[in-house]
Structure 1
Amino acid sequence: MTETASAPFDDIRRLIATMPGPDEDAVEAVRARDRQLTKPAGGLGRLEWLAEWVAAWQGKSPSIDRPMVCVFAGSHGVVARGVSAFPSEVNRQMLENFSAGGAAINQICADLGLGFKVFDLAIDMPTRDIVEDAAMDEKSCVATMAFGMESLAGGTDLLAVGEMGIGNTTIAAAIYAALYGGDAAHWVGRGTGLDDEGLKRKIAAVEGALDRHRDHLKDPLEVLRRLGGREIAAIAGAILAARLQRIPLILDGYVTTAAAAILHAIHPAALDHCIAGHLSAEGAHQDVLQRLGKIPLLALGMRLGEGSGAALAAGIVKSAVAIHRNMATFDQAGVSGRLPQA
């Protein structure tokens, strides 16, 4: 009997099926130490939970020695429809700005001691216009996901992921509308500052894309290849690789979360190793985060992208782990511990 060749997406599904779970012993060790630290129980709120979360996915006493921010950059054919306030040429210019150290993310990473990498995903070759065709074929989509997985090869113990790409808030909105339904207008925001006419064009583009691909949107991976972009596919790959390598991960904003939403739609536990770095001002990000069961660390009204919110959140995670590791215990400080409960 002849074996049937597997499709490229089958490999992704198999990897998702092998995802490890949290290390509960590491979590309990964090809680045991926390009970001995010179503070009231629960006094540090979510910072205490963050130390547990890092331990759960590192599988050991939490430590952050090599934090990394990875930004994935792509371009989109749908931009030709006037869905962005900026032209596609800005993609290349922003990559050069990253390289020169002039972007906001460069300043955040330098200030907080975070490594920074940016990945050019054929920035000068836009994906196909999603209103007229699928953005990618299955093979190239999986290859881009694999590229995102390989981006972790240099090693890190805390990963923050972000994106850059003119027009990609249109792409994210189309993905959310495909996954969750509802009017396109609910998911579409003003991106980099669209006027009212631009917003109408953006909504129309999302509506047109949904209509074009309506018969193929039940499979989340088909949603990704038909409506997504290379940066979103690469981020999905990075999220999956981080899970397989037991690396805790911080999601950035509206566009980055679209990649996470694809994985969540395939398997509801696929994002257990992820936290939301911040609540973006773009689109319906809060709606998405609620659907994913994520409470953002920050809500600063940002919608910049480029990993900026995730990087700022990484500073908080670093502090949470430093407190847990370095804070004195009651015995070390000579402070009387709590009386036993009656």
Structure 2
Amino acid sequence: MDVSERINIIQANLANFKILKDIYINDIERLTSQEEAAFLIGIGHKGKCDVCGNIPKKIDKDLIEINILAEASTAEIKKIDSKLVELSDTNIKLDKQRILLLSREESLKIKLKNLDKKTEKRVPELKVGDHSLMTLRSERARFEIDLSLHERISFFSKKLQEAELKPVPKKYEAKAFYPENDAIDNFCRIYSEILKNIKLPGTNHVEFDYKIFDVIIDGNPRNLNGKGVRAILHSVFKIALLLHCRQKNIYHPGVVILDSPLVTYRDPLESKYGELEEDEKKLAETKISYHFLNYLHSISKFGQFIIIENIDVPESLKSIISNDTFYGKKAKSGQRVGLLNC
């Protein structure tokens, strides 16, 4: 490849030198014509006027310039002739190099063909060698994995020993992890405001009990209410947490999923939860479903609420609340089976 590249470079230079030679010859012809013209113009001309015999200054100056031009043309011709000689010598040397390189290139091609033939004969041996090499590489890879595992075991054993030697950290009381009183008070205040906005029956006084880690509403723990009341109070807990985070600039993903918050409005005959309890009956008599959904719409700027419920959206809210129906196994063509199935 190196020889072929050198041959190509020489051939390109020879082609360029031929163009240069043609330029030199054209320049010589042009300068020769220029010299001859100057000679013919000035021959036998003394610059004298045929009438008065004087030499006009302008004619004298023109003749001087013609002579200078002729001398310059002669000098330039000599200079180009010397360059032509140098160019010719260079062409001869390059052509000799080209011939030698062509001969060497041919010799290398013959050697390459012989090497190709030897390689073809050795292919079976090379395949056997490759197979052996592949086996060795596979063994090496297994050893490297074993060594890596050994190093990791040693590392973790050392860490374990260091951990065992360290003093046991002191135990913290549960109170050390409690939220600050201001945060709890703000959360309870928000919780109470939500209950008032959704028109939940009662005075809606909210406290937080650290023993059960849940809210107490009007002196009654949330978990002692009926299924429907517990459901809506659980949803209010999630909503209050979102609003608390927004007010205190605490991170919240902004998506709240509520599962059956309005289960109070279930059919007591067909529902698996059975008949309504007393507090659920009171709640069912109110328009809490309307107030609850309308309140969520009013705070929609703080997050997105996804409600999974079995009740119909009140007519007055259908225009502002997006609603999708899932038909389950009874779904027909074009109807959604469920949340993740279409």
- TM-score w.r.t. structure 1 length? 0.24
Bigger-Rg structure (1/2): 2
Q: From the two aligned structures, give the one with the greater helix fraction.
A: 2
- TM-score w.r.t. structure 2 length? 0.24
